[in-house]
Amino acid sequence: MKKKVAFQTLGCKLNFAETSTVARSFSDERYERVSPDSDADIYVINTCSVTDTADRKCRQAVRKIIHRNPDAFVAVVGCYAQLRPEDVAAIEGVDLVLGTYEKFDIASYIDNLSRKSSPEIHSCDGIDTEGFISSWSAGDRTRSFLKIQDGCDYHCSYCTVPLARGKSRNPLISEITAEARGIIASGVKEIVLTGVNVGDFGKSTGETLDDLLRSLIEVDGLKRLRLSSIEPNLLTDNIINLIAVNRILMPHIHMPLQSGNDKILGLMRRRYQREVFFDRVMKIREIITHASIGADVIVGFPGETEEDFNETYNFLESLPLSYLHVFAFSPRPGTPAEIMPGTVKKTEKEHRSRQLIRLSGRKHTQFMQSLNGNIYDVLFEKRSTDGMLSGLTGNYIRTLVPYRKDLPNTIRQVRLATIRDDASMNGELIENSGI
């Protein structure tokens, strides 16, 4: 009888790609994949450790599993397991702990599904800084996340990613292009390029992200190509211009700002000042007027005064952004920021977060209002709970139309209409349109 195995992903798009690759290492002959919310014999939790919230979600996931199925075999893998293996092993219910690279060999570690008297830990002290394990997400025939880069050389003062994943590296463009062809052959319409620091692509092979994009847009059958996120100092004019003129490249650019105050950017050890971010936003808006531009922001970094935060707030308010992702600073063990002076109170961090979240809501509403009545291509995905069909425009507006069984995994033209309460838009399908 096949064993049932469930996978749960915590964290970024890169983790989703890697979870899917890990899942494919379990043979169909021996294992049946099931939902993480259902009864399973084995649960695999692929973790993130960017914030203390990510750590907490891991612990909560384990408790939920054990409450539902006390006899389940629980494996915790990935970044949290790499950085804090002993802490993970101490979570009641965990049987196996695998680090960033060991997780790809998980099937070989699971030789006995009986509960362990004490967890097994396989988490290398050192990172393989030369190797690159290709990954791409499967299961959703509409969109696939394709890993093109791993590791990071930036060493921002608050970040544990270089400790968990090592230095920046990537495969050859020819290898990625071959992977993309295989993904498209499976019926996928859109590929999202993901990594730890995507803009750093080519550092280990002498190529560039611009080269990669130009190669991928020539792949037969690829309808859409999207960048997941890119550092503002690595977003070149060539990339912006290429997005502007090529229909396959989606006009959606997400950049981490982190702070709109140069003093705080310096303490964070970011490799730019806010003027660079301003220049990139205005360049995008100048030549791609309908582009969606998003930003990451951290509030409450050590030393951030009320005046510093207000400068960040006013800077963001002045920019033609489409939305914000807001994070309250949490000290990560082993980082310089963990011991920096000037700790901001939790209540103040929460207050600043709420202000930026409200600003993000207004920005997103204004962006949707500016698109009202325009016609865009929408890649339809799945039926929503209210009987509508949901999809995304190229510039990342969640759009809904009445469900029709012939629409999922097709790209159709839609006229954007009213704004919904859930920050999406109703659309009017243009008949006889499609790609």
Q: CA distances (Å), 403 to each of 383, 400, 427, in order?
A: 7, 9, 12
306 Cβ contact list (under 8 Å, min separation 6): none
pLDDT score, position 385: 72
Q: Write out the two tokens for 48.
A: 């993130």
In angstroms, the CA 18 to CA 24 distance is 10
Q: Under a CB-based contact definition with an 8 Å cutoff, are residues 286 and 250 in contact?
A: no
Tell the residue number behind the tokens 């993904």, with chain if given. 183
pLDDT of amino acid 90: 92
Per-residue model confidence as pLDDT tens for the chain (435 residues): 899 999 999 988 899 999 999 999 999 889 999 999 999 999 999 999 888 888 889 999 999 999 999 989 999 999 999 999 999 999 999 999 999 989 999 988 886 666 667 888 887 666 666 789 999 997 666 899 999 999 999 999 999 999 899 999 999 999 999 999 999 999 999 999 999 999 999 999 999 999 999 999 999 999 999 999 999 999 999 999 999 999 999 999 999 999 999 999 999 999 999 999 999 999 999 999 999 999 999 999 999 999 999 999 999 999 999 999 999 999 999 999 999 999 999 999 999 999 999 999 999 999 999 999 999 999 999 887 788 999 999 999 999 999 999 999 999 999 999 999 999 999 999 987 766
Burial (CB < 10 A; 0-12, 13-18, 19+), residue 60, is: exposed
Closest CA to 389 of 409, 403, 378: 403
Q: What is the pLDDT of residue 113?
A: 61
pTM of the predicted structure, to 2 decimals: 0.92
Closest CA to 201 of 179, 181, 242, 231: 231
Residue showing tokens 């992977």: 179
Written out in words, the top-level CATH class of the domain with range 375-429 is mainly beta
Q: Is 3.30.930.10 the CATH classification of the domain at 127-250?
A: no
pLDDT of residue 4: 94
- H or E stretch including 280? helix 274-287
End-to-end CA distance of the chain: 43
DSSP state of 339: G
Domain with CATH 3.30.750.210 in the chain: 127-250
The token duo for 360 is: 């993000």
Which part of the chain is CATH 3.40.50.12160? 3-122
The burial of 70, by beta-carbon neighbours within 10 Å (0-12 exposed, 13-18 middle, 19 or more buried), is given as: exposed
Q: How far, in Å, CA of 225 to CA of 221, rounded?
A: 11
Ranges in the chain annotated CATH 2.40.50.140? 375-429
Contact (Cβ atoms closer than 8 angstroms) between residue 383 and residue 391:
no
Q: Quick check: 234 and 223 in contact, CB under 8 A?
A: no
Superfamily for domain range 3-122:
Methylthiotransferase, N-terminal domain (3.40.50.12160)
Q: How many CA atoms lie within 13 A of 157 on its CB side?
A: 20
* pLDDT, position 319: 98
DSSP code, position 271 = S
Q: How far is CA 133 from the centre of its chain?
A: 18
